[in-house]
Amino acid sequence: MKKPVYILDAFTSEALRGNSAAVVLDGADLDDATMQRIAGELKHAETVFPLPARDPSAAWHLRWFTPTDEVLFCGHATLAALRVMVDEAQRLRVPVGQVVRTAFTCKSGMLRVELTRTPDKKLHVAFEAPPAEFKEAVVSAELLMALGLIPEVLEPSQGPRRSLSGASQSGGNLYICLRDRETLARAAIDQKALAEAMKADGAGGVILYALQPKEGVDAAARAFFPMDGVPEDAVTGSALAQLGLLLQDTRPDAMPRAFRFTQGTELHREGHVLVSVRPEPEPGQIRAWLSGDGVVVMRGELDLRALVKAKK
């Protein structure tokens, strides 16, 4: 039993930048435990399995696994899966100049997708992220200390917020705005202390960000998930989708509204994420859509024949 496998660097047009994800195809015959073992073998932050659709309105059902757990949604691995399924595996045709609208299902529900191809045949991928709401938050002294920060470096016009999302398996992300890009770069993280402070606070992740770090960029960010085994993530599509919703909530403007975010600079894997915040037909409802480039850096096969023999 062999499975096609791809490694794609997401949210970048340059190899070995952005955030890498593994994409394993034709996994409908794999059980949950085997998918988890494969993710542990591939050792990426997320491995995604595009599976046959479970709804007639959807093209695929997606599942994402870290090396230790299944997650409800992952932005960069979704981008990887969609690009691989269209351009590499050619499971869906996207003609030049047309918009192909489809969807995928996952444990966060059904999420919409828009695919287009430019005259030079470049694929553009946009997909919906799960909804999120926010509440004001207080940052403890212990958490600030673990981040290597002091209260004076927080941006007073943009107080801390916590996300409330159906896609969260924890207490949601804590968003902390800093005064400037230099402060963001200087944040020195004590991972053990941060994990302890986050556990006490009930936060699943901590997102530090600085607004308008340079012309053409709305925010630069860093994201930390030590309790999930990710000390610092390179480019976190799900968190940046929430950041777009957060900025629309705290600094409202006309929609649809486009944001450009950067992340990963401190890890030497800078990526660029485009977030479009769009109104829904239902009054007061908005959703964030993610888009970005991607580069396939490996194409191969996962050989599971010995695993099959061991099961017999």
Angle between the 237-250 and 75-83 helix axes, to the nearest 10 degrees? Answer: 120
Q: Assign 1 a pLDDT band (cuts: 50, 70, 90).
A: confident
Q: Are the CB atoms for 108 and 130 separated by under 8 Å?
A: yes
Phi first, then psi: give them for residue 198, nearest 5 degrees. Answer: -65, -40
Active-site positions read: 46
- With residues binned 3-state (H G I as helix, E B as strand, rest as coil), the percentages for the chain, rounded to 5, are 25, 40, 35
Over residues 146-180, the pLDDT tens digits come to 999 999 999 999 999 999 865 655 679 999 999 99
**Which domains are assigned to the chain?**
2-130+294-311 (3.10.310.10), 132-268 (3.10.310.10)
pLDDT 10s digits, 254-312 = 999 999 999 999 999 999 999 999 999 999 999 999 999 999 999 999 999 998 766 65
- pTM for the full predicted model: 0.96
Please write the tens of the pLDDT for every residue from 50-90.
999 999 999 999 999 999 999 999 999 999 999 999 999 99
Given a cut of 70, whether residue 10 has pLDDT beyond it is: yes
pLDDT in tens, 196-230: 999 999 999 999 999 999 999 999 999 999 988 88
